[in-house]
Amino acid sequence: KEKVEITKEQQALVKVVVEAYNRHQIPQDVAKKLLQDQYSAEENFLLLTEMATSQVQVLVEFTKNIPGFLSLDREDQIALLKGSAVEAMFLRSAQVFSKKMPNGHTEVLEERIRKSGISEEFMTPMFNFYKSIGELHMVEEEQALLTTITILTPDRPYVKDQQAVERLQETILDVLRKMCVLQHPQDPQYFARLLGRLTELRTLSHYHAEMLTSWRVNDHKFTPLLCEIWDVQ
Ligand SMILES: Cc1ccccc1NC(=O)[C@H](C1CCCCC1)n1c(-c2ccc(Cl)cc2)nc2cc(F)c(F)cc21
């Protein structure tokens, strides 16, 4: 059985990515806000657009710390950000939903989200994804690396030098694979299950435009940044 070992430079890479991931988290805790009060569909829609707008800004800052990202072609950097922003938002939402909370809090949070204004048809795929992420009990290194892998997806629309992105993604995949073996020795399939979630994430993200335009509000107002990133307006 080969001895799996994370090299010094891989440890340094993980440290940089995890610190950037933790530093660039959403300022105010949206889960706490949702647990404190029940908001109208209008207030929830506004909260979502604010959260999503700040999350995109946070994502841009985070990518600057991904080793090699700034050496990519400038237009490819933009293509990767545009292509991964929605998935990063759902992945972040899933991680927020999966956080350990006092008894009964997760149920209240789920209820508040169910009643937030999103139309019923999207609840099942969305919560199935959130719960499948929760079942993985990811440590923060795995969460940070999984988000990085999502950003470094070579086959996003308009990416010119896919090989360059593939090389960066493979560097991250390699250290994540080793970390999973070391972190979950009893579950050799863990790494494969982790990557399987990215397929579920991509499917859920296909619904994002409909989820937004079908939100139960009269006027769907988006920020210019969100119009850039989401397929809306
Ligand atoms: C958590 C975050 C961080 C960064 C960016 C965005 C968000 N996400 C949000 O703010 C929205 C809120 C927004 C306010 C209404 C309820 C859902 N949100 C969504 C969501 C639902 C549907 C769509 Cl289309 C998008 C997102 N899933 C969530 C799961 C959670 F556990 C949570 F606490 C908030 C969640």
* Predicted ipTM of the assembly: 0.98
Rounded to two decimals, what is the model's pTM?
A: 0.95
Mutation choice for ligand 1 from 25, 87, 93, CB with most ligand atoms inside 8 A: 93
What is residue 28's three-state secondary structure?
A: coil
143: number of Cβ within 10 Å: 20
Q: Which atom of ligand 1 is nearest to the CA of 215?
A: 24
* 42-46-50 Cα angle (round to 5): 170
Q: Does residue 51 have its Cβ closer than 6 Å to ligand 1?
A: yes
Q: What residues contact residue 116 under an 8 Å CB cut-off, 6+ apart?
A: 34, 39, 41, 44, 48
The distance of Cα 195 from the centroid of its chain, to the nearest Å, equals 13
How far is the C-alpha of 93 from the C-alpha of 44, rounded, in Å? 14
Question: Which atom of ligand 1 lies at the shortest distance from residue 97's CA?
Answer: 31
Q: Whose CA is nearest to atom 15 of ligand 1?
A: 44
Among residues 128, 61, 60, the alpha carbon closest in space to that of 90 is found at 128
Q: What is the best residue among 26, 28, 44, 48 to mutate for testing ligand 1's pocket, by most ligand atoms within 8 Å of CB?
A: 48
pLDDT tens readout for residues 100-154: 999 999 999 999 999 999 999 999 999 999 999 999 999 999 999 999 999 999 9
59-97 tens-digit pLDDT:
999 999 999 999 999 999 999 999 999 999 999 999 999
